[in-house]
Amino acid sequence: MMQNFLSSSPAGDGVTWYTLRNAADMRVVISDRGATLISWWAADRYGRSADMLLGYADDAGYADNQAYFGGLIGRWGNRIADGRFTLDGVAYQVDCNEGRNHLHGGSGGFHLKPWQVQPDPAGLRMTLVSAAGDAGFPGTVMVSVLYRLDDEGCLTIEYSATADAPTPINLTSHGYFNLNGGGSDIRDHILSIEADQYLQVDQRLIPERAADVAGSAFDFRQPAPIGARLAWPDEQLKVAGGFDHCYCLRRPAHHPQALREVATVYDPGSGRQLTMATSEPGLQFYSGNFLAGVRGRGSRPYAIHDGFCLEAQAFPNQVNSADSEAVILRPGRPYQQTTSYRLSVRG
């Protein structure tokens, strides 16, 4: 049963925070700055409610949001090597905001822009128009995202986009989760991912090749604690400072864009479990490697591995791969993605 009890409150600087609430009093707070996930309040096995998302103390932190807390990422989630690609014979240079890489839409990505709220009985719908030339990308893109929260604790994000000229697109949500509510880091969380391969990266975290997960720290086909895997002597973990890699998700041959469950994370202490489903081919697992010293909403700064991200997306730098056409948004061929995160409690 779908219940989207929607309320709103001003957050300062003309920004509004919207709250979706279900019948179990689970609450998801979303900002119209960056269509950003601010908080997700949910109970543990003892009925104690806590916030599952990392974030800033108030809206001021989201004005530049260097950690990308909860942001709706676009036009391009993840990295483009050297910020360069060629489309229909034309070479493009986009904003490079991570050394020589383009990362998460550039210095003025979707996660920083004001989104418009549109009436929708299904939930909270936000829209954005990204003009041609935004961060160096061609074509004007019209983006819509719908957030829905049901009574079973499932937050569904439905993305759609159209363009008036060909342009790369790769949208994702960059929420940082901690299922114990921030009482400790995420090393005790037990993770599983439905993937037989992942993308190995170079020193700039640009994919170099697909590799089998079997026999490596990256094998989460059976549930395993994140902390134990972080301790493995794996060269790829050294390169990234932890996990910051894209998994090549299993996809049904008859319907490769079907929505299917791809990952679960369980916190033994609280009993909370996060189950993720997506229609996307890739899943970036990020273990919060660069959180140290980031000032959040707690009394102390965040530390390394205080949160994790599960980002549904196309593959990093795919616009420069042999399969680049799959990430090109062309007029008359809309972009669509559905990703959901379901919070439940195990005894």
Among 243, 250, 178, 256, which residue's Cα sits nearest to residue 221? 250
Give the Cβ contact number of residue 168 at 10 Å: 23
* Cα gap 338→259, rounded to integer Å: 7
Beta-ladder partners of 303: none
Intra-chain end-to-end CA distance of the chain, in Å: 23
**Secondary structure class of 31 (helix, strand, coil):** strand
Question: Please, which residues have CB within 8 angstroms of residue 118's CB and are 6 or more apart in sequence?
Answer: 125, 126, 127, 144
Pairing of strands 224-225, 190-193: antiparallel
Hey, which residues are catalytic here?
174, 311
Q: Say which DSSP state 324 is in.
A: G
Which run of H or of E encompasses 260? strand 260-266
C-alpha 107 chain-centroid distance:
17
230 residue type, one letter: L
**Angstrom distance (rounded) from CA 184 to CA 182:** 5
CB contact at 8 A, 194 and 312: no
Taking the CA of residue 43 as centre, how many other CA atoms within 13 Å lie in the half-sphere pointing to its CB? 11
Cβ atoms of 110 and 75 within 8 Å: the answer is yes
CB atoms within 10 A of CB 219: 16
Helices (H), the chain: 59-62, 226-230, 235-240
| Residue 192 DSSP SS3 | strand
